[in-house]
Structure 1
Amino acid sequence: MHNEDRAGRAGDGARGPEDRRSGDDPRRPDAGAPQEWPRTPPHAAPPTPRTVIDGRYELLEPIGSGGMGEVWKAHDLRLRRFVAVKGLLDRNSMTPATQTAALQRARREAEAIAKIEHQNVVTVHDQVETDNQVWIVMKLLEAKSLGDLLSGEGVLAVPRAATIGLQVVQGLRAVHAASVVHRDVKPGNVLVRDDGLAILVDFGIATFEGADRVTRTGSVIGTPPYLAPELFAPASPGPTPASDLWALGVTLYEMVEGRVPFAGHEVWEVQENIRQSPDPAIRFAGPLAPVIQGLLITDPRERLDAATAEAMLREVLGDPAAPNAARAASATHPPTAVSTPNPSTPAPGPAVPPPAPAPAPVMSTPPPAPSAAGGPPGRYRGWKVAAAVVCVALLAGAGWVASRGNGEKGGDGDRAGSVQGQGEGHAGSGSKERWKDTHPTLEIGVKDDQPGLSKFDKKTRTYQGYDIDLAYAIAESMGYGKGEVAFTTVATDYRSTALKTKQVDLVIASYSITDDRKTASPGGYSVDFAGPYYEASRGFLVREKSSKYTINDSSDLRDLGVEVCTARESTYEKALPKQGFTMAKSQPNTYQDCLDKLLDPKSDVYAVASDDIILAGYVEANPGKVRRLENIQGAEGYGVAMRPKTPVLKGEVCSALRTILAGRIWEDMYKENLSGLVGDKNPPGRPELTECQGL
């Protein structure tokens, strides 16, 4: 929608796919457009002066027009109020052959949009069909577009940008819950009232379940710099909620950086810019950076979903949702929980400009729910957790001040609002050394054979699991991007060697914290730990069926004297013989090797000793073949291992772990990766960071 600053602007605009404003400033595709809609639509005159629609809505003046219809300021004769009335069909551009199909689509569009009831989405009052036209009657809004604000102010301070972004994502959750995709999220389609309330408008090209693809007869639907990269692909499934979230990421970037991340007036230009530089430089976003990065992930499957983005924006604002805020139904389609206004928030009324822009009313945060795109609840895959960690870490020190003036134009001068890192690990004027200053890539040793904890997927060529999510989280807190993290597989008996030879900086591989590992021993190497980040119980894995022995519990293993296998240099190698268990003559260097022996009917190995969470992963990966026995005495506290005498590194890791364990991030990682394995939705008690005391 064109940017305009009109008292009484319509809540929804109208324009066609060709409306790309070729003369715009490439820094901001949403700026530079005419500041008012033309007084008369370019191709459609008023049906009749003072025409009354359905005997109720008197058309007063055109507000906007385009390839997708026309918008009028109108007077509701029954309720005596001004409204915006949008005709969804541009009748002059239609042939009789397309009239019926267009009418049917317009009806569906009107019905879909009318289902959305949310204070951050333009309100639809009525739907009327007359004379081969479908009209939507909407609230007439008095507000400036976000595009206008950016044109006048250049950039917004981070808290203000986060407040607007939070409201937009809440509106999008309501839109997506109604099975609607907006398809044109951008600053020009976000209205901001003087009291700070942000409203998503212009559903002129919105789509819904069963609608057509992103291209139509060779024309691109939407504004190129805000189109998600997956929409460019020839086999694209078309617009999805994920593509709306990409556009939100572009909008957030534009608010704080003063330009779009991927410039270009034509689709091919934007596509090429994304291909060449998929990770645009972020200099002034501060704690908003992880949110923006998460929304601008080119793979829509890994992109932040709306619920996660909302939670992260709340963290940026330091404002968790009010626990008793009411949640009203926002749409007839219930697949995605939707935030609704706090009941204490007054209903929107005439805008009274305050001395300074005030944050918008706080919305309630819904419980985790599947995304409209079908993603799992609480999608904290990989670096998504890390992004949330950074938000919390940056704010935890209470020293970060967003003081960028609203009048800045996005230049490279004095940036008072640039993020100032707290504590060790952040370089800059007056700051201490960062590990990243001398280590541009963070090398992390991990396991590749532990389902749920750390597993290498040969198809995707990626590592997955709880330890991997934790690794990304720590890396992000230390200032590393996802592409600056490198994983190396380390076997149990090679972990300390990998650290000693500096092949890796950290080891996050179910590495149990023990005194002997922290003290150099003959033939071995001492390591330092941060943690523990998780505490596991000890247990055994046995064959589901055995033709020779009946094994019901761990005492049977001891009484029968059958061989138990464990990984070489694990804690079990020394502990179990002292408890009377018979160990295999030689221990392999991985638990997977022990599992292979257990599954071999010719092997003398009848049990594998390891941590309960590791064994649970093997049970899930081998259904009907193995089973767990009850846990035995003892626990394993997993730590992040590093070389001794690396205080900068340990300080940064401990800082990240404190943030992870303090909030919901730790619980979400557990629920995402481990709860299904152990059959317990609730995580175990939070461990105390005994190896981080004094830091």
Structure 2
Amino acid sequence: MHDDDGFSGADGGTDGQPEDRRTAGPTVIEGRYELLEPIGSGGMGEVWKAHDRRLRRFVAVKGLLDRRATTAETQKAAMQRARREAEALAKIEHQNVVTVHDQIETADQVWIVMKLLEGRSLADLLRRDGVLGVPRAADIGLQMAQGLRAVHEASVLHRDVKPGNVLVRDGGQVVLVDFGIATFEGADRVTRYGGVIGTPPYLAPELFAPASPGPTPASDLWALGVTLYEMVEGRLPFGGSEVWEVQASIQQSPDPVLRYAGPLGPVIQGLLATDPGSRLDAATAEAMLREVLAEPGPPAPTRAATPVPRPEPRPASAAAVPAPAASAPAVPSAPAPEASETSRGGRRGRFRAWKVAAAAACVVLLAGGGWLLSQGDLGGRQDDASGEQGGGPAGGDPAKAWEQWKDAKKRLTIGAKEDQPGLSFYNKDTGVWSGFDVDIAYALAGKLGYDREHVDFYGVTTANRASKLKNGEVDLVVASYSMTPEREKKDGILFVGPYYNAGSSLLVRKNSAKYDLNVAADVEEKQVEVCTARDSTYADRLQKEGYTTGKWQPDTYKECVERLLDKRSTVYAVASDDVLLAGYAQNDPTHLKLLPSGAGTEPYGVAMRKGDPLLKSKVCSGLQEILAGKEWSEMYMKDLSPLTGRKTAPRKPELMPCSGE
């Protein structure tokens, strides 16, 4: 959860003294909120994960006082800004705006207590991917517009809308965060030490006019337009990092070229209208984005053997905008929206006009291949050279088709879990991934023709791995993913495997003063609370088998283990696969005990999106080679034997047939 120069995640900062807290023991605010660990940082402090002792839940706590405010004057201004952020956020209740639970003011700090949000900032996604496909960008933009409409209806202005302040949660929910420079009607205007309020590349041009009335809802909508452009074009629309450079760029080239925006073109043009009176408002932008998402898009033409090049990565400062090709007709200018938002017939007519403009834009971009490229990120058929059933542009030659697939995807991104010792673990200090799942993934990538330097691992959880696949954020998932027909249908994915068969087990507290738990029957009979990861195969099974579970289950087994170790928690057992739990038990043998495995097995499979039979075929043949040779046994003895205690590798799993979808 990261921001370029502010905060993301659940927003923002602390009182600027986290080092003291770490050495002096836990800090508890008003006897209720215990600060546990910092989860985000920026120029104004840190945001902390905290435990609400009264309601027994985890929350995010942000200290709003700017730690750079050292003089009496700057401290007074910072306290004023801190109070204003809390007031601004407390006025808004919307799924696309960060939720405030509480506000506390101590002698030297203003705190806000918020819902704990897991996810990555949009800035992080763009740093990793460079660009997003049109459907995904439209979905994110739609949710941003919905959030901004709620903000503006509460008479609040965000004033710093940018990718770093947009959180994309697991499952796709988008949340606007960091209202540190927000303002609202009746509030005194406060600047940051006399400087410019906001981030220069996202500031609307009218803010710098000699007789500017200051920020308005239209200036927030301009920033939404810049963000949409950045998502699909891979760069900022206007060059420069300083205010004067950005404003000069807007004056010189007010209509940035759209190469990959497809039907988003008219929306972006409408939001980047330099006249704020002609700019789209949030409601109109929202309606247009809904139409973009509702459109199935034109049928894909036959793809050339040479893959369409992706846009250049986003530079640190935007370069000059290239001129459009002379042979390409200009993208039509966006018509100004009508003033009235109450006439249903008027809106229909206006949207029809926008759809005509969007269709014209699509014709231009289809000629250049841009719209084809953009479609690959939202779970549809990827922009690759696979064709249908291995045919397509390679003329039915699978080997040639696969080389074209690889040419279009220079790097392979694999989703794996970050917190499962022995299976898959990411060391944040060294940046190294390790474990059986990771070794399987590397070996499989090698069979697909990718060396280790061209493989990227991406952290996923039990709850979000399906959505990461469908959103196109990862190509494959190798994350102790239990293969079931129900999951293939429900999650909309395909499995190849199994590459390992795990048993089921329970992890309990060792030497508990309250319960003596030695076998699974003890856990069931004593009706102690069992934790498991949300959307795991155990989530439904536990209740059916008579175990007691909590009303809310976390996204990861690691958090289950943290609850188990917390003496204040009501959790006394964690249910999962035996090999997975064995890693946690081995890491903390003083406090944790693994019970004997129960009946049944969990077959782990490699997961991928539907609609790419060529990839499935290659994964199937690659996994078959791994199981047929010595690699599998060697990986087992290196990674899993220390957990299971076996002196020899078990029988290899039998690969299921890979034909069909």
Q: Scaled by the length of structure 1, what TM-score is found? A: 0.43
Bigger Rg over Cα: 1
Of Structure 1 and Structure 2, the greater helix share is in 2
